[in-house]
A and B are shown apart, each in its own frame.
Chain A
Amino acid sequence: MDKITAIQSRFVPMPIENIDTDQIIPARFLKATTREGFGKNLFRDWRYSDDDESQPKADFVLNHKIYNGEILVAGKNFGCGSSREHAAWAIKDYGFKVVISSFFADIFKDNSLNNGLLPITVSDVFLQQLFQLSPADTLTVSLEAQTVCIDKSGQKESFEINSYKKTCLLNGYDDIDYLINMRAAIEQFEQQVA
Chain B
Amino acid sequence: MAKTLFEKIWDKHVVKQIEGGPSILYIDKHFIHEVTSPQAFKGLEKRGLSVFRPQQVVATADHNVPTLNQHLPIKDELSRIQVQQLIENCKKHQIELYGLGHPFQGIVHVIGPELGITQPGMTIVCGDSHTSTHGAFGTIAFGIGTSEVEMVFASQCLMQTKPKLMRINIEGELNKGVVAKDIILYIIAQISASGATGYFVEYAGSAIRSLSMEARMTICNMSIEMGARGGMIAPDETTFQYIKGRQFAPSGESWNQKVQEWSALFSDTNAVFDQEIHIDATAIQPMITYGTNPGLGIAINGFIPIAESIPDEGERHTIQKALQYMGLESGKSLLGLPVQHIFIGSCTNSRIEDLRQVALLVKGRKKNAHVQVMIVPGSQQVSKQVQAEGLDKIFQEAGFEIRQAGCSACLGMNEDKIPAGEYCISTSNRNFEGRQGAGARTLLASPLTAAAAAITGVVTDVRELM
Q: Which residues of A does B touch, CB under 8 Å?
A: 15-18, 20, 22-23, 26-28, 30-35, 45, 51, 75-77, 80-86, 88, 103-107, 110-111, 114-115, 162-165, 174-176, 178-180, 182-183, 185-186, 189-190, 193
Contacts and interface: CB of A to CB of B under 8 A. Distances in A.
B271 to A, nearest CB: 22
A23 B432 CA distance: 8
B83 to A, nearest CB: 10
Contacts of A88: 145
A138 to B, nearest CB: 25
Chain B interface category by residue count: 35 or more
Of B16, B194, B225, most buried by chain A (CB within 10 Å of CB) is B194
> Closest 3 interchain pairs by CB?
A164-B21, A85-B145, A31-B78
A185 B15 contact: yes
Contacts of A190: 26, 156
24 contacts: A17-B315, A18-B193, A22-B433, A23-B434, A27-B63, A27-B411, A31-B79, A33-B38, A75-B314, A76-B314, A81-B225, A83-B36, A84-B145, A85-B146, A105-B197, A106-B227, A106-B229, A107-B143, A107-B145, A111-B146, A174-B147, A175-B159, A179-B157, A185-B15
A139 B226 CA distance: 32
Nearest to A162: B21
A141 to B, nearest CB: 22
Given A76-B314, A85-B147, A111-B147, 19 more contacts: A16-B317, A17-B315, A17-B318, A22-B433, A26-B438, A77-B193, A82-B128, A82-B411, A82-B430, A84-B35, A85-B145, A106-B197, A107-B229, A162-B20, A178-B159, A179-B159, A186-B155, A190-B26, A193-B12
Contacts of B76: 31
A103 B196 CA distance: 12
Nearest to A20: B432
Contacts of A32: 78
Contacts of A176: 43, 47, 147, 150-151, 154-155
B198 A83 contact: no
Nearest to B163: A106
A161 to B, nearest CB: 11
Contacts, number: 187
Contacts of A174: 147
Interface of B: 12, 15-16, 18, 20-22, 24, 26, 35-36, 38-39, 42-43, 47, 49, 52, 63-64, 76, 78-79, 81-82, 85, 127-129, 143-148, 150-151, 154-159, 161, 163, 193-194, 197-198, 224-225, 227, 229, 293, 314-315, 317-318, 321, 411-413, 430, 432-435, 438-439
